[in-house]
Amino acid sequence: MTTESIAWPRSAVESRPLVQRLHEWVITVDHKRLGILYIVYALLFLMIGGVEATIMRIQLIRPHNDFVSPQVFNRMFTMHGTTMIFFVAMPVLFGFANYLIPLMIGARDMAFPRLNAFSFWMTAFGGLLLYFSFVGGDGLYGAGSAPDVGWFAYAPLTSQTFSPGHSTDFWILSLLVSGFGSIGTAINIIATVLCMRCRGMTLGKMPLLPWLNLVMAGLVIMAVSPLTAAQLMLLVDRYLGGHFFDTQAGGSAVIWMHFFWVFGHPEVYVLVIPAFAFASEIIPVFSRKAIFGYPVMVAATICIGFIGMSVWAHHMFTVGMSSAANTFFVLSTMAIAVPTGIKIFNWLATMWGGQIDFKAPMLFCVAFLFQFLIAGLTGIMLGSAPFNWQLGNSYFVIAHFHYVIVGGILFTLFGAFYYWFPKMSGRMYSEPLGKLHFWLFLVGFHLTFDFMHIPGILGMPRRIYTYEPGRGWDVWNLIVTVGVFFQAAGVLVFVGNLIWSSFRGELAGNDPWDAWTLEWSTPSPPPPYNFAAIPEVKSRRPLWDLKHPEDPDWQYE
Amino acid sequence: MGGVRYFRCGAVFAAVTASAAPAHSPLSPTNIFAPVSTPAQSIFDLSLFVLTVTASIFLVVFSLLAYAVVKFRRRSSDDRREPAQVYGSTQVELAWTVIPVLIVVVLFLATARVIASIQNVEQPATALNVTVIGHQYWWEYRYPSQKVVTANELHIPVSDPAHPIPTVLTLLSADTDHSFWVPRLGGKTDLIPNHPNSMWMDPHETGLYLGQCAQYCGTQHAKMLLRVYVDSREDFNRWIQEQQQPAHSAEQVSEGQRIFEQTACVSCHTVAGTPANGTNGPDLTHLMSRQTIAAGAASNTLENLMAWISNPAVIKPGCKMPSMGLSAPQAAAVAAYLETLR
């Protein structure tokens, strides 16, 4: 392994005009630049999705509020869900995967750099198409309108009969287009991880992050394909006289639910497995210990991948399946708690006996462990079908999956941002601002999503633009809305920190965290070729071996 | 609800529901932890078990995590030597695999038993059958054996455990997906076009039970409210008899009736015994026997009726009933006519 770098003519770097430098970002096929494009793009949509959530929460702050009309509220929850899943969570995770996988496996780029660029621009185009619906949704007259069919767009609400105009078409097309992008990225990740590893890096010596992203990519191919197919079928229904989901002509609304959730549930694992990957890199470094039970962590992830494909109908316990089908999906849903639990215990064991350094990345990961525990336990409650008949489609479900997606995924993502920011920008972020962000967001998160469980238990269904007084929901909704403003403040501090530190932060050096994986052996930010010479590794922690020649890992693995 | 039983459970869940409610004034009229019918009660009992198990897991794992985070934090007194590197342990991994598997098996068996006890039940011949048809933003109720059709307010008899009269609902939809959810009477079941469903309930106490549509069905999903009146057997029989009567007929056709029958009202609404026989909207034959209009969105008063007839969007923007452009005196006349439909 080597840390030397090839001299790059300075004139080539600095003296070009701005337009030319921007143009290079547009035509780039470099995995690091595409990774950053994905991440910045997702951050922009995170802000938009956050504004949509805030509008909903202001509307629900008290009963019979009239901050927005029912039509606007329905568009807000549809756009919030679609945006956050397809144009924030997936792109940002793909961005980190793109940036990190080649660096961590000692490669110079992804396997298919041009497919990589194509995938990014498809995803980007999909997001723009979705938001164009605000101006173009109703055609040429009118002020336009966004889709209002909910993010899982149950049939037959999406048929021409109930959704005339074009807003639903924008929803269909944007997911269709970004779906192709997602599948392209998944193929690329699989090919990269399987074919591009440096010498000595067998699959058993590969860091957990590429391993988990490999499983994630497999899930993307299996889950996004049926969704993309379903979007095409829906288009056929709407424009070519098909009757797949047209209940008035003998079609089936339930088939759409199966198509959607056979995507929708694995999608949860598509999002959470990369989050697990961040935690699996950050927790060991900030505990100063090797990951506990590496082979078990890999096995548990693969297990989650397989079981995750067989649990989708737990989103459909209330649609009137037979008791046999309900019972099967209870079993598969509860079974997935076992490998997930194993992962939590392994992270716990990794911290056990370590010297935990509570820098911002680790703070977010520790909060993730506690929050993901709670999310998993409310998941068991929802997985118990009869309990689900009460809790399903209520605010309890909203609280549960935001505990997964915000408390689990977004928290580790923030951790990942702080952890790899020095590598990506070459500069350190501000640690006090990072901690301020953590505490603001933690308080906001718990105000919002802890208290959101309660109106669900008290019978408040989701997707209602207003509610009756006297149901016992008022005070909880007020608290939930107050929390949103803490979260928003936290995100503003976060974005401000990133922007300020990109220009004014201290220089980070190659390896600010005294870490152990290959990306820390190159300069920060890494040169376009990543490694001057392709490294060779003997263990899962090549930089540990380098720093501790007297006690290298490969003696024990 | 069984007062003692509920109070005990309320105390157990003080943390969840913030305070233990007294036996007869639940925290919320739609509290899932205040069941009054067998399916809701079985779900409640199961949920107590699931909550106990998950709360125990939470306490154990939370304590371990909290202990690790505090105990193994870096201290300023630490020297800079790396801690001992541990790569794993097969015994420990086995332990935290086998124990969760056992817990999952127990939870699964308990759940499977309750699924069967609710879904696979033979109903007695005395059961009352009601067909529920979801429409965009209102509920249609048909009692096929009794030949009664009504809307938005469901009446069912109380079911004495010694002589049960459970109510079996057949759930249909006329347009999009809906979901029938009255938390104190049972879990929710969806109403899906082309996909008939059913559910049952046997409420043990009379009273009014609230709920609302729980599957997003369009613009006014939020104001598609459910009201279930559980009547004593005598009250229920009296109600059925009243509903079976044709519309109250006045000596001569009133001005309001004439307007009602000459505008498009009759293409959606039925008033039995008159030319009005539409089926897209709620049956109005006995409108004044209901306490609310617009699927529970407003109480059934003369003022609200006039406002609703003049411009429904004032009460439910986006609902399917159009404004007929009636003048104020015309709307008042129609409302006066509707007031005679007892």
| Number of compact structural domains in chain B | 3
pLDDT in tens, A411-435: 999 999 999 999 999 999 999 999 9
User: Residues A281, A306: contact at Cβ < 8 Å?
Assistant: no
> Is residue A473 less than 8 Å (CB to CB) from chain B?
yes
- Give the whole-angstrom CA distance, residue B167 versus residue A389: 18
> Could you tell me if B194 and B238 lie in one domain?
yes
pLDDT band at A144 (very low <50, low <70, confident <90, very high): low
> Is residue A357 less than 8 Å (CB to CB) from chain B?
yes
- Give the whole-angstrom CA distance, residue A36 versus residue A94: 10
Mutation for B interface: A65, A357, A468, A544, most B CBs within 10 A: A468
Question: Quick one: pLDDT at residue A13?
Answer: 56
> Could you tell me if B143 and B98 lie in one domain?
no
| 8-state DSSP, A149 | S
> Could you tell me if B213 and B262 lie in one domain?
no
Listed residue (A451, A460, A461, A477) closest to A61, CA to CA: A477
Q: What is the extent of the structural domain holding B222?
A: 128-242
- Give the whole-angstrom CA distance, residue A126 versus residue A104: 29
pLDDT higher than threshold 90 for residue B19? no
**Minimal-distance CA residue of chain A relative to B17:** A454
Provide the token pair at A254: 């339930």
- Give the whole-angstrom CA distance, residue A269 versus residue A90: 11
> Could you tell me if B259 and B311 lie in one domain?
yes
Class of residue A491 by CB neighbours under 10 A (exposed 0-12, middle 13-18, buried 19+): buried
pLDDT in tens, A91-137: 999 999 999 999 999 999 999 999 999 999 999 999 999 999 988 76
- Do the strands B197-201 and B167-173 form a parallel or antiparallel pair, or are they unpaired? antiparallel
Q: What CA dihedral angle connects B210, B216, B217 and B219, to 10 degrees?
A: 100
**Domain end marker among B189, B213, B242:** B242
Mutation for A interface: B62, B70, B76, B190, most A CBs within 10 A: B190
Domain membership of residue B303 (yes or no) is yes
**Residue whose entry in the numeric block shows the structure tokens 């060779």:** A536
pLDDT higher than threshold 50 for residue B235? yes
Question: Quick one: pLDDT at residue A476?
Answer: 96
Provide the token pair at A332: 């598969």
Domain membership of residue B247 (yes or no) is no
Domain membership of residue B197 (yes or no) is yes
- Give the whole-angstrom CA distance, residue A372 versus residue A369: 5
Mutation for A interface: B52, B53, B54, B98, most A CBs within 10 A: B54
Domain membership of residue A4 (yes or no) is no
Listed residue (B301, B312, B311) closest to B336, CA to CA: B301
pLDDT band at B76 (very low <50, low <70, confident <90, very high): confident
Question: Quick one: pLDDT at residue A557?
Answer: 78
Mean predicted confidence (pLDDT) in A392-409: 97
Question: Quick one: pLDDT at residue B77?
Answer: 79
pLDDT higher than threshold 70 for residue B9? no
> Could you tell me if B63 and B10 lie in one domain?
yes
pLDDT band at A138 (very low <50, low <70, confident <90, very high): low
Class of residue B126 by CB neighbours under 10 A (exposed 0-12, middle 13-18, buried 19+): exposed
Question: Quick one: pLDDT at residue A477?
Answer: 97
Q: Is the peptide bond before A525 cis (omega within 30 degrees of 0)?
A: yes
pLDDT band at A156 (very low <50, low <70, confident <90, very high): very high
Q: What's at B51, amino acid-wise? A: L
**Residue whose entry in the numeric block shows the structure tokens 């159009």:** B322
Question: Quick one: pLDDT at residue A139?
Answer: 54
Half-sphere exposure of A153 (CA within 13 A, CB side): 27
> Could you tell me if B66 and B174 lie in one domain?
no
Provide the token pair at B307: 């406002």
Half-sphere exposure of B224 (CA within 13 A, CB side): 33
Q: What CA dihedral angle connects A321, A323, A329 and A332, to 10 degrees?
A: -170
Domain membership of residue B138 (yes or no) is yes
- Which residues of chain A does B17 touch, with a Cβ-Cβ cutoff of 8 Å? 454, 457-458
Other beta carbons within 10 Å of A99: 24
DSSP secondary structure letters along B264-287: THHHH-B-TTSS-B--SS---TTG
Provide the token pair at B79: 């020297």
Mutation for B interface: A457, A514, A543, most B CBs within 10 A: A457
> Could you tell me if B205 and B259 lie in one domain?
no
> Could you tell me if B191 and B298 lie in one domain?
no
Please indicate whether, in this complex, the C-beta atoms of B82 and A548 are within 8 angstroms of each other: yes
- Which residues of chain A does B65 touch, with a Cβ-Cβ cutoff of 8 Å? 348, 366, 369-370, 373
pLDDT higher than threshold 60 for residue B226? yes
pLDDT in tens, A182-227: 999 999 999 999 999 999 999 999 999 999 999 999 999 999 999 9
Mean predicted confidence (pLDDT) in A165-193: 95
Domain membership of residue A263 (yes or no) is yes
Domain membership of residue A107 (yes or no) is yes
- Give the whole-angstrom CA distance, residue A94 versus residue A164: 34
Provide the token pair at A199: 């010498």
Question: Quick one: pLDDT at residue B103?
Answer: 97
Domain membership of residue B308 (yes or no) is yes
User: The domain that contains A241 carries what CATH number?
Assistant: 1.20.210.10
Please indicate whether, in this complex, the C-beta atoms of A390 and B187 are within 8 angstroms of each other: yes
The number of C-beta contacts closer than 8 angstroms across A and B is: 283
**What ipTM is given for this predicted complex?**
0.92
**Minimal-distance CA residue of chain A relative to B194:** A247
pLDDT higher than threshold 90 for residue B237? yes
pLDDT higher than threshold 50 for residue A365? yes
pLDDT higher than threshold 90 for residue B342? no
Domain membership of residue B160 (yes or no) is yes
Bridge partners (DSSP) of residue B73 are: A356
Domain membership of residue B82 (yes or no) is no
Bridge partners (DSSP) of residue B28 are: none
Q: How far is CA A28 from the centre of its chain?
A: 24
> Could you tell me if B223 and B272 lie in one domain?
no
Please indicate whether, in this complex, the C-beta atoms of A247 and B193 are within 8 angstroms of each other: yes
- Give the whole-angstrom CA distance, residue A349 versus residue B248: 77
A299-313 CB burial, b ≥16 within 10 A, e <16: ebbebbbebbbbbbb
Domain membership of residue A10 (yes or no) is no
pLDDT band at B18 (very low <50, low <70, confident <90, very high): very low
| 8-state DSSP, B146 | T
Question: Quick one: pLDDT at residue B20?
Answer: 37
> Could you tell me if B221 and B273 lie in one domain?
no
**Angle (deg, nearest 10), helices A360-383 and A395-402:** 140
> Is residue A463 less than 8 Å (CB to CB) from chain B?
yes
Q: What is the extent of the structural domain holding A103?
A: 28-347+358-555
Domain membership of residue A389 (yes or no) is yes
pLDDT higher than threshold 80 for residue A483? yes
pLDDT higher than threshold 70 for residue A264? yes
pLDDT higher than threshold 60 for residue B15? no
Question: Quick one: pLDDT at residue A338?
Answer: 96
> Could you tell me if B139 and B108 lie in one domain?
no
Domain membership of residue A332 (yes or no) is yes
Question: Quick one: pLDDT at residue A141?
Answer: 54
Listed residue (A39, A3, A41) closest to A416, CA to CA: A39
Chain B nearest-CA distance from A538, in A, is 16
- Give the whole-angstrom CA distance, residue B249 versus residue B282: 19
pLDDT higher than threshold 70 for residue B112? yes
Question: Quick one: pLDDT at residue B6?
Answer: 40
User: The domain that contains B215 carries what CATH number?
Assistant: 2.60.40.420
Q: If you average pLDDT over every residue of chain A, what do you get?
A: 94
Domain membership of residue A17 (yes or no) is no
> Could you tell me if B334 and B235 lie in one domain?
no
Provide the token pair at B195: 């996909």
Listed residue (A165, A506, A296, A337) closest to B103, CA to CA: A337
Domain membership of residue A18 (yes or no) is no
Please indicate whether, in this complex, the C-beta atoms of B16 and A394 are within 8 angstroms of each other: no
Class of residue A250 by CB neighbours under 10 A (exposed 0-12, middle 13-18, buried 19+): exposed
Question: Quick one: pLDDT at residue A7?
Answer: 63
Q: What CA dihedral angle connects A404, A408, A409 and A413, to 10 degrees?
A: 160
What contacts B251, CB < 8 A, 6 or more positions away?
A: none
Which of A323, A384, A459 is opposite residue B107, by nearest beta carbon?
A384
pLDDT band at A337 (very low <50, low <70, confident <90, very high): very high
**Minimal-distance CA residue of chain B relative to A163:** B218
Other beta carbons within 10 Å of A425: 19
Specify the 3-state DSSP secondary structure of A241: coil
The pTM for the full model equals 0.93
- Do the strands B138-143 and B148-151 form a parallel or antiparallel pair, or are they unpaired? antiparallel
Bridge partners (DSSP) of residue B140 are: B133, B151
Give the residue, A62 or B75, on which the prediction is more confident. A62
Please indicate whether, in this complex, the C-beta atoms of A319 and B74 are within 8 angstroms of each other: no
Domain membership of residue B144 (yes or no) is yes
| Number of compact structural domains in chain A | 1
